[in-house]
Amino acid sequence: MCEDILLVFFIIFGGKKMDETAENKQKWFVATLLMGTFTMSISQSALSTAYPTFMKYFSLPASTIAWLTTGFMLIMSVVMPLSPWLMNNFKFKPLYLTLLTIFLIGTLIIIFAPNFGIMMVGRLMEGFSVGVLFPSYQSVILEITPIKRRGTVMGTVGLVMGSALAVGPIVSGVLLRLFDWQAIFVAFMVILGLVFILATKTIGSPMKLKKSGFDFLSVFLSIGIIGLLYFINELPKMAMDNYLNWGIFLVSLGLLWLFVRRQLKEPEPLLRLDIMTIPNFDLGVALTSLSYMSLITVTIVMPLYFQQSLGLNPLWSGLSLVPAAALLSWLNRRSGRLADRIGFKPVIVIGFVLFIIGWLLLLLTSDLRNIWIAIIGTMVVEAGNAFAMMPATTLGANSLSDDLIPHGSSIIATVRQILGSTAIVIATVILDLSGFKTVFFTFLILEVFALFIALIIKDTKKDTKKMKTA
């Protein structure tokens, strides 16, 4: 993993005459950035296997413990639109160090939490850091990378995101077999403590500042994202006559409508939503989100399939995802390199064809209850993500000017998070009503639709820009 991250620098700056000192600075800049992002990303998915342990420790039901993930996701989603403003008003190095500090303090609170409420405070602090960091680090990497090499570099970024999502449950499962649950968070602290020390020496601030006023009203209106995601997550267990939740849903829609309206009218909006009208960017947002929907669904549904249909215990169900996670990691950078050579559109089309093949294989063989076929099907689905998600993100970003990239990264991350949450709800509801086969069929149809979008997106070609340095 670290070798892949370090290799990014030689890919970005290969062929350029640079003195050894400058090369080393750039190398450690991105390595530190991606190592921190990888560790913080693992926290997004690591707790699912620890739910039974938390339920016993705090004597609370699963629905309450699930707020460790739900709350994390809600705060993460609502702060993502803040990323462009923060990037424009603060240098990246102090911003990155601040986010690491907030995450570390939150993690320390969790380790020593005397009750669940205090633990939730720490978890929300972690979610805040990850929510701001996700779009920010992609913006920085896109900013410093020449367009003709963005496919390869963003492939490694995809490796970090995809691997972290898949590895999280595996890491926590192993730690729980050996230690108490606090060990999960101690591991986060140790690694991120080292990253913080490195960051003080290696992280730079490559983006120019564009000072602007802070739009408090837009931030307030963006709270509608929390209400919408809350409603989506409550749907599987919500009674139709739950008027409180329906009220939250309607109020959230109203707030979001006002938020969008304000962003389109303000001369200096918090988030440049008007860029959704730029050709190719809108389709890139759709494709990266549709790809993420399949990735997050397969990482959640397949462990349940391994346990409920094949009778595996939680540890082995998590380990059964290792081949798919390994393949995803191996393919991500290679798919990006391929996109730089033959264009993004063919690679994206390959990705969604693989999605279709993977879901179709799982659909047709689910009754066989064969673990090896199920693992192969999971591997094909995750291989599809390697060819689809980050190439679609990069192709969309290539349609934007440099000053719009922070806004584009924030929009992509926010939409992806909302649709990813929606995918989990869809899969959960269908699983309860009709079983695994209907889940597989639903996402098969979803990716067939995505393939049609991939066929109409344009493979834009732009002149390579010069790298911007810190």
pLDDT in tens, 429-465: 888 788 889 999 999 999 999 999 999 888 765 433 3
Q: Exposed, middle or buried: residue 102 (CB in 10 Å: 0-12, 13-18, 19+)? A: middle
Closest CA to 386 of 438, 427, 337: 337
How far apart CA 454 and CA 345 sit, in angstroms, is 7
pLDDT greater at residue 27 or residue 404: 404
Q: Which domain holds residue 115?
A: 2-213+268-456
Q: What is the DSSP string of 91-125?
A: -HHHHHHHHHHHHHHHHHHHHT-SSHHHHHHHHHH
Q: Token digits for 53?
A: 């342990």
Q: What are phi and psi of 269, to 5 degrees?
A: -70, 160
Chain segment 159-189, per-residue pLDDT in tens:
776 677 667 777 887 888 888 888 989 998 9
Residue environment code for 236-246, b if the CB has 16+ CB neighbours within 10 A, otherwise e? beeeeeeeebe
What CATH number has the domain bearing residue 90?
1.20.1250.20
For residues 373 and 361, what is the distance between their CA atoms, to the nearest angstrom? 8
- CA-closest candidate to residue 47, choices 116, 131, 100, 98: 116
Q: Is 134 within a domain? A: yes
Look at residue 411 and tell me if it is in a domain: yes
Query: Cβ(285)–Cβ(273) under 8 Å?
Result: no
pLDDT for the residue 462: 44
Q: Do the domain assignments include residue 33?
A: yes
In total, how many domains does the chain have? 1
Residues whose CB is less than 8 angstroms from the CB of residue 38 and which lie 6 or more positions away in sequence, other chains included: 1, 5, 160, 163, 164
415 with 276: CB under 8 angstroms? no
Per the domain annotation, does 226 fall within a domain? no
Predicted confidence (pLDDT) at residue 51 exceeds the cutoff of 80: no
Please state, in angstroms and rounded to a whole number, the distance separating the CA atoms of residues 127 and 106: 9
Give the confidence band of 151 by pLDDT, cuts at 50, 70, 90: low
pLDDT in tens, 369-428: 888 999 999 999 999 988 988 888 888 878 887 778 788 888 888 888 888 878 887 887
pTM over 0.75: yes
In a domain, 245, yes or no: no
Assigned domain for 142 exists = yes
Residue 445 within any structural domain of the chain: yes
Contact 218, 269 (CB under 8 A): yes
